[in-house]
């Protein structure tokens, strides 16, 4: 018999805007999901080293270390890492060069777009 239990999607969310961070953290939480939210790329690196996250969701424009620099550091260690980059900027073909599990979520976005992306990632992580 197949194991139908869903794995927990452990999400590290990085956003410097407190109101947006609080709102999106609430949106990201749900059955089978655990969210830790931080304000900077530097704080994200500390959290990443101390926790077991299978998804990074990050804003690109952050004070100090940019979200793009954070993504590059994590992908250098694990090229198969799942990443969602949130930004109002266009990525063009650059996204494909980062890795097969890197997705963009253009700002502004609808709740349904976020949910569809979380479902896609969770299904991929739960696949045998």
* Model confidence at 96: pLDDT above 90: no
Distance, CA of 28 to chain centre: 10
Q: Does 52 score more than 90 pLDDT?
A: no
Cα separation, 59 vs 108, whole angstroms: 12
Over the chain, what is the mean pLDDT? 88
pLDDT at 93: 64
Please report which confidence band the pLDDT of residue 8 belongs to, taking 50, 70 and 90 as the band edges.
confident
Residue 99's pLDDT is 85
The predicted structure's pLDDT at residue 58: 95
CATH of 9-126, one of 3.40.50.2300, 3.40.190.10, 2.60.15.10, 2.120.10.30: 3.40.50.2300
pLDDT-based confidence at residue 59 (cuts at 50, 70, 90): very high
Write the DSSP symbol of residue 95.
H
Given a cut of 80, whether residue 128 has pLDDT beyond it is: no
7 cis-preceded (ω within 30 degrees of 0): no
What SS3 state is found at 52? coil
Please determine, for residue 3, whether its predicted confidence score (pLDDT) is greater than 50: no
Report residue 109's pLDDT band, with 50, 70 and 90 as the boundaries: confident
Q: What is the average pLDDT across 79-106?
A: 83
Distance CA 16, CA 40 (A): 6
Structure tokens at 120: 């896609």
The phi, psi pair for 63, rounded to 5°, reads -70, 145
Query: So where are the chain's domains?
Result: 9-126
pLDDT at 65 exceeding the cut of 60: yes
């Amino acid at each position: 018999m197949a194991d139908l239990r869903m794995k927990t999607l452990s999400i590290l969310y990085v956003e410097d805007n407190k109101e947006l961070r609080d709102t999106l953290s609430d949106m990201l939480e749900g059955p089978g999901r655990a969210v830790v939210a931080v304000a900077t790329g530097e704080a994200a690196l500390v959290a990443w080293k101390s926790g077991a996250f299978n998804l990074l969701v990050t804003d690109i424009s952050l004070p100090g270390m940019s979200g793009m620099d954070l993504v590059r550091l994590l992908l250098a260690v694990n090229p198969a890492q799942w990443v969602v980059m949130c930004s109002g900027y266009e990525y063009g073909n650059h996204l494909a060069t980062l890795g097969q599990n890197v997705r963009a979520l253009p700002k502004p976005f609808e709740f349904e777009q976020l949910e569809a992306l979380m479902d896609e990632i969770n299904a991929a992580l739960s696949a045998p």
